[in-house]
Structure 1
Amino acid sequence: MSQLRDTASSLPPGLLASVADLREMELARAGGADIIDLKQPAFGALGAWSPEALTAAVMLWNAWGEQLGEAARPALSATAGDQPMVPALIRAAAERVAETGVPIVKVGLFHSKHTNECIEALAPLASRARLIGVLFADQEPDFAVVGALGRAGFAGVMIDTADKRAGSLTEHLDPLTLGQFVAEARRHGLITGLAGSLRLGDIPSLTGVGADYLGFRGALCEGGRTGALDPMRLGQVYARLREPTDHSRP
């Protein structure tokens, strides 16, 4: 399970669970997460763990591989933080995460006239680590960027929301638009993910979009995204993701 799925997969979307510490890592693994995403929600949309904490997380993840076997452990990703769209700075932040041994690095591509320059600056790292570009639904994302990510060697692309107070992903982009995003990403060989204050009730409509993963934080926590991960809520999301799609449900 620690490998990202093939873009041609017809499986229901996998579960990406964002976690804030090692304890939540263990809870997410026990709860069936397909990708455990290391993120500090108190520090922004893509708040980063410290290098020391990332190193400890990689040690735990490697121990899972020894205990469970490579195929049984979830994949591991980490965010590079909410960085300014300055090529040298965004590459340095991504490099810091990759140097800890985290195999999948998520990089936020905030609205900027320098987006393509930042992608080009990340291309050398994309040959050594699996990079995921993150676009933001509340910043009028330009899907033309998807082709640039594919050409730069990125492994995948996600859509998230930058301002968590401004509504969920589904309040900014409809399923038809999200389906177009997924199709464009697959045309360029990219893994796809959807996130952004997603709720349990969003799952049925988003399952039909065809993304490889759906990402959750607030829906998994007691008290919202900065609260503690709740195994019961995680179990509810896990179960709903594996139900047959029924658009009549709330």
Structure 2
Amino acid sequence: MSTAAPGLLASVTDLHEMELARAGGADIVDLKQPAFGTLGAWSTDALAAAVMLWTAWGEQLGEAGRPALSATIGDQPMVPALVRTAAERVARTGVPLVKIGLSASQHTNECIEALAPLASRTRLIGVLFADEAPDFAVLAALGRAGFAGVMIDTADKKAGSLTEHFDPLTLGQFVAEARRHGLMTGLAGSLRLEDIPALVGVGADYLGFRGALCEGGRTGTLDPVRLGQVHARLREPSDH
């Protein structure tokens, strides 16, 4: 059977890269600072400027013509008050999709519950980490708390890419379970151009990229040519 091609999430570090990602066909422009950690966050002022640019795109291109916008809250310990404060800081800037890393911890469910009030007014995306043996039972908690979606990423970028931790079958189970709880899905974690054919068939809504789009790896600069290659590969017909 043929599956719809997953959307392209491109992580960017500044307003110039935002423009490159939009021009290159990204479906979600994701604001992240890889130099500051796995889910390193933009400053509040920078987020406000990004929201202004994104709003201007809407005026120029219309709602349908602009990509979605997401931002990470930074690498936070699993302390409910800290996670909620960090998520609210990002949400207050007007970023429509707020990404929250959920590390393996006995307090993860408490953090999810603490975010439920915010989830009722902002679209929250939980991020699980493939290299931390995530418990997919957390998907039910995300659904109950009103999260909009969930991604699997990798925390330690030196410990291998997503495909080295999970095979397509396991990722397919993750996607199916997330859908059961009303969550949109994304896969990321040092994904390369050659990973795309196997992952397209998994059926996730989005595939996320940073290093594969950059000259000099994930802390390098976004390269429009590499972005174009990833975009084209995602759009190739698939027999999956």
The residue aligned with 2:164 is: 171
Kept after mapping to 2: 8 A contact 1:204/1:246:
no
Q: Which amino acid aligns with 1:179?
A: G
Amino acid corresponding to residue 88 of structure 2 in structure 1: E
Give the Cα separation in 2 of the matches to 1:64 and 1:227: 25
Please name the residue that 2:195 is paired with: 202
* 1:128 aligns to 2:121 (yes or no): yes
Q: Distance in 1 between matches of 2:100 and 2:167?
A: 24
Distance in 1, matches of 2:56 and 2:238, equals 36
Q: Which residue number corresponds to residue 107 of structure 2? A: 114
Alignment of 1:1-250 (within 5 A): 11-245=4-238
Per-residue CA deviation, residues 23-76 of structure 1 (Å, 9 max, x unaligned), is: 000000000000000000001110000000000000000000001111100000
1:245 Cα deviation after fit:
2.3
Name the one with the larger helix percent: 2
Q: Secondary structure at the match of 1:71?
A: helix
Shift of 1:246: 6.1
In structure 2, runs of 5+ residues without a counterpart are: none
**SS of residue in 2 equivalent to 1:204:** helix
TM-score, scaled relative to structure 2: 0.98
Partner Cα distance (1:114, 1:151) in 2: 16
Q: Distance in 2 between matches of 1:65 and 1:130?
A: 18
Shift of 1:244: 1.4
Secondary structure of the corresponding residue to residue 115 of structure 2: helix
Runs of 4 or more, structure 1, over 6 Å off, are: none
Count of residues in correspondence between the two structures: 238
Give the residue type in structure 2 aligned to 1:78. A
Instruction: Quote how far apart the aligned CAs of 1:141 are.
Output: 0.5
Residue deviations 1:98-156, cap 9 Å, x none? Answer: 00000000000001000000000000000110000000000000000000000000000
Q: What residue ranges of structure 1 are gaps of 5+ in the alignment?
A: 1-9
Opposite residue 194 of structure 1, the aligned amino acid is L
Provide the TM-score with structure 1 as the length reference: 0.94
Q: Distance between the aligned counterparts of 1:68 and 1:173, measured in 2? A: 38
Q: Give the letter for the 1:45 counterpart.
A: T
Secondary structure, counterpart of 1:81 in structure 2: coil
